[in-house]
Structures are given as structure tokens and as C-alpha cells.
Amino acid sequence: MKNIYFVQPNDVYKGKVPSTYIPYASGCIIAYCKQNKAIAENFDFKKIIYSRVPIEKLIAGLEQPYAVLFSCSVWNTEYDKKAAQAVKSAYPDCKIIFGGHNVSADGSFLQQYPYIDFLTHRFGEETTEGLLEHFLGLRELRNIDNISYRDGNKVITTDYVTQTTIDFPSPYLTGVFDDLLNDGVNFSAVFETNRGCPNRCSYCDWGELKTKVRLFPMERVKAEIDWFAAHKIEFIYAADANFGLFSRDVEIAKYVVESKKKYGYPQVFRVCFTKNKLDVVFQIGAMFFEYDLDKAQTISFQSMDATTLENVGRKNISPESFKRLMKQYNDIDIATHSELILGLPGETYDSFCEGIGTLLENGQHYSFIVYPCMLLPNSEMGQPWYLEKYKIKSTSIPFQIVHTEIGANQDDITEYGRYTTETYSMNREEWVRSLIYSKYAQALHSLGLLKNVALFYRYEYDVSFASFYKMIIEFSRREDMPLLHCVYSNIHALCHKIAKAQSGFLTTCKGLGKILWEFDEVIYLEFFKDLEQFYREIKQCLAERFGTCDEVDALFCYQFDVIKKIGVETVTVSSAYDFYHYFNNILSYDYTPLEKKALRFTVHDAAPVADLSEYARKVIWYGRNKRLTDYTSSFYRSATVFDTQA
């Protein structure tokens, strides 16, 4: 028997019980290949290497490897390269095979790295089966689709053929992962109910595959959900590109709910929703919220600019449909978040800021996230012709895992992502300005520090949301505003370092050790440390531009009072103005003028935090999509008592 090893290294989160993902991609390939009788009789598939173990330990654990297959993603490619080189050095005859999302569709890896023998492109099941049959003398390399190999000094890449198989054996149900489950690790699972995507977004490698969506048999889907429950898998990530696209997805969602009700598992079921079936998405989202499977629903846009959307081959739902959907979610207190991408061709600094403003104008006051555009090697956007057409320039930036500690990896190998930092419509300096703007808008609006203030100035002073946050950044450049200026200077320097490839997208926060945080989280926490000074400086700057009045004085007191504090179990909020109902009406798309009416309510916080470290972890990290920073959010509503005599 020839020994075959798969390496799919993920970061392991340390804790009382270490946690990581089951190596699903490797498992799929193994399950598929083992159904081939010749392969099953001649190859022994060893235990999958699923974590970033020290490379010398990895080598020591190999037993005369015939072939080692590496699954490459942005978070492990550099590790895979070093490990593969070490394997080749220790076992020169061992065949090294690279595949996965981070391996480009050409043979360039073979040209760059002599220790790699073969590449598999796109989906791995059928190509890996072909290679293993070749090793047994049953297939010629030229007759295996979707691979690259060397022929003397030449690199040969065979034809790209779309995968058509739908009845893949399940790695969960065929026992591929049974030996992993005894490792004392809290595993999360990747779950597919279908494979493929009908969309052709240029930034995503689903689009470049040009495959039809293939539905996995429903009996397999339900059996895997049963497997997750039986093995107490707490967190499931559904890897379908468009969950909710098919009517049967409602049935699947109901089956997941029944599993949780009956067995307690899964505890969280996270999906990527389709943008095309809003009523189905709402039905499933409401169901997941009711049974605490997922507390926030994603409504993605990527860009709000028409030219940009045309360039990247994407169509969004209409603003009217988005507003209707937001109202549906708001009416039943379901949190939502939306996603945008920074660095798409066609976007300018102004259109990007206006895009964030448009999200807010249409009611996205819960949460939005801005992702930097990563150039995936198998996406249309990652191809040379596309880069040339849109004058895209990129920067290789260290890839970091948020909320892990610096130096937590035992191997100390830095991974890199290739990110767009310049296009024909946005130069590098404008990209930096856009990044800064996005982080401030997320910190001050989504996390809540200035959300009420921004809403008030939007409706009472007609200051658009886009203009409001541009104005806050402008104030932050002033040296006579010490807190604002200090935080801005730090974030400004960090963003410029990113553009120069001198830093990643994460940083530490003073007082919180070596943990890596998002910039918007750091902005929030730095202002939170001196909240009174923060509001004093903001209020002064706004007063200089718009003047002040009793309502504004009361507004800042109210905004300060409703931000969750450290060490407080009971908080009482009082005002001469009824801000509570004023803001709730706005969030329900039913603006009514602010009333001068005495308001007093008390919130009993069942989950107080003791210090800044606990606040950062429980409120900002765990609780951002639940709006735990705001005592008026739906999370605290059942613990809120109004004084009717106020």
C-alpha cells in the first residue's frame, strides 16, 4: 500500500478546548477517490494534517509518504510551500501535489517552485482521482483534465473541463473524519447543500468557474445534518454561494431548526444568502433568529455605484427592495449587516463614501462591513487582461487572523494576500482615504458611538450621513482636539503602512495585550476609554459649524448615557426630550419631530463586564452584531423599564 497524506492547515483557536474547522475540502477528495476500487486497494489514506503543526513535527509524523497533497488558501499557502519543500528534502521521491483556491489556473507554481510536482485546478475530486490512477499506470497525464505537470523542461496545463458530477460521497457519512474526532478539538464544520453559482462577479472565483448550480441529494443533506447533531458540532458554515435561491432551502432550514430543538445542535448555522429571493431569505432569516441559530442576517451589496457594478458583473437589489427588507427585519428586531468591497474598479473616493451613506439612508443602521478587495488568483479580476483593462495595481499585504494573538502560530510563517490598492478610478492615496473613512463610519455608526448624533443631524439639520462622517474625520485632523487628533493620527499612519505593504489590516490596542483587532474596533475602544472627552470634542466641533441649542445639549447627554459602560448593572437614562421614541421611529421609517417630553427609563444589564478586556471581548468582538454597545437595542429591551411618571 502506498501512503497518501493530505495537508489542509488551519489556525487553531486556543482556549479551554482548542477549536478549528474540519478539513472539509481534503475530506471530499478522499471520500471520492476511495470509491474507486483500484485506488482503495493500492493507497492508504493517512490521517489528514489539519493544523499548522511545526514543520519538523509534520515531517517526523510521515511514514514513507508516496504522495503529499496540499490544500492552498490565503491563510496557509506560505506554510504549505515551506512544508512541501521540507517533505521533498526528506523524501525526494515523494510526489508533491498542490491544489485549492490559491493555486492559479496556469502552471506558474511549477515554474516557481521546483519541489512541486503536480497542480490540480479548480475542483479537486475528479482531478485527484485521475492523478492517482496515473500513479497506478492506468491513465496518461495528458488525458487528465484540469492539471499541470512537467514534461522535461516544459510545463503542460491540460484542458479546463467543467465538473458535472453531483452525487459526491459525503466525507462525513463515509467516516473520513472519524479519526479526527478523538483529538480533543472543538470542530466546526463546512456544509454544502449544492455546488456552483449562477452569478459572474469578477472578484469571486465562483464566477470564473462558469458552472451550473448542482444540488446535492436531499437525503445526503439531511443525513449530514443528523451527523452534525450526533457529533455535537456547534458551529456550521454553509458554503453554498446563494442559500435561499431554491425553494428546498426552506425545507433544509426547517430541518436544521428541528435538529437544534431535538438535540441542541447545531448551535449556530451561518449561511451566505442569495440576493434574488428576498421573501425566502426573510422567511429563513426570521426562523434562524427565532431559534438562535444566527442573530444577524447579511444583505450584501459590494458597491452602490452603477459603473462599478457593471465593471464587476454584479447586479444589486433595488434601493426600494432593500428598504422594504430592512423594515421587515426592523419590525421584528432582527439585526442585519451589509457588506461592501473597497477597491473595485470604477469606484472613486466620493462614490465609495456616498455608497456607505446610501446604505445608511436606506436604513442600514445595525451593521455594515467593508472588506478590502483581494485579488483571488482564479477570479476574473485576478487575470492579467482584467488587471490591464482597469489599471489595477495590487499590494501583497500580511494576512492576519482577527482576535488572535501576535505570534500565536507555532510556525511563525507569515501569510500574504494580494489586495487591490489602486485602479483607473482610485489612486493609492484615495484608497487610503477610503479605508480610513470606512473604519470611522463602522466605528462611529455601526458600533454606535455617534449613531444617534448622526441621525439627529440628518433629520434636523439635513446633513447627509456621507457628509457627516467626512466632517468627523475633518475634525479629527485638528491639533486642538487632542483625543480626536491622537486616534486619527494613529489610524492614518496604519492605513498608509498597509498601502506600502508594511503592515496588515489588524493592529493591537493599548491595554489589551497582543490581541489583534480591526481598526474600527480600535477606534471605538480608544474613544471609549475617555468617552466624556470624546463627546466634548465632537460637540464643540459641531457647535462651531451649526451652533447649539437645548436639544443638542440633551442629545449628547442621551448619546453618552445609552453607551454600555464597564461595571454597571443598572443604568437610568433621563432627558427632557423623548429621544428614545424619536430614534425608534426613524429606525422604523416613521420619522416624527422630536418632542419636548420628559423621558426616564432604567436598564438592568444581566451581563455586566468588569474591565476593558472583558468589554472588548464580550461587547465589541462577540456582541457587535447584537448591538451590545447600545442600551436601547433590542438585546436589552426585555430588561428596560420606563417611568410612566416622567
Burial of 276 from C-beta contacts in 10 A (0-12 / 13-18 / 19+):
middle
- What's the CA gap between 168 and 215, in Å, rounded? 11
pLDDT at 333 over 80: no
pLDDT at 298 over 90: no
Mean of all residue pLDDT scores within the chain? 92
3-state secondary structure of 398: strand
Name which of 446-450, 496-500, 586-590 the model is least confident about.
586-590
pLDDT at 642 over 60: yes
pLDDT at 389 over 60: yes
Question: Which sign, positive or negative, has the C-alpha torsion 24, 29, 33, 35?
Answer: positive
Report pLDDT digits (tens) over 535-557.
999 999 999 999 999 999 999 99
What one-character-per-residue DSSP string does 180-210 give? GGGSS-EEEEEE-SEE--S---TTSHHHHH-
The whole-model pTM stands at: 0.91
- What's the CA gap between 420 and 431, in Å, rounded? 9
- What's the CA gap between 238 and 249, in Å, rounded? 11
Report pLDDT digits (tens) over 611-630.
999 999 999 998 887 789 99
Domains of the chain: residue spans and CATH: 2-157 (3.40.50.280), 192-294 (3.30.750.210)
Q: Which residues lie below 8 Å from residue 341, measured CB to CB, with a gap of 6+?
A: 203, 302, 303, 370, 371, 372, 373
What's the pLDDT score for residue 210? 58
Residue 644 — pLDDT band, cuts 50, 70, 90?
low
Buried b (16+ CB within 10 A) or exposed e, 528-567: beeeeebbebbbebbeeeeeeeeebebbbbbbbbbbbeee
Name which of 41-55, 316-330, 443-457 the model is least confident about.
316-330
Starting at the edge strand found earlier in the chain, the sheet holding 186-191 runs 19-21, 186-191, 235-238, 268-270
Cα diameter, the chain: 89
Q: Which of 491, 509, 500 is nearest to 405 (CA)?
A: 509
Name which of 51-55, 136-140, 412-416, 418-422 the model is least confident about.
412-416
What's the pLDDT score for residue 83? 97
SS (H, E, C) 92-109: CCCEEEEECCCCCCCCHH
pLDDT at 336 over 90: no
CA neighbours closer than 13 Å in the CB half-sphere of residue 642: 11
pLDDT at 189 over 90: yes
Q: Which of 213, 193, 349, 329 is nearest to 271 (CA)?
A: 193
Alpha helices in 442-530 (DSSP H): 451-460, 465-476, 482-499, 519-528
ω into 266 cis (within 30 of 0): yes
Report pLDDT digits (tens) over 363-386.
888 888 999 999 999 899 999 999
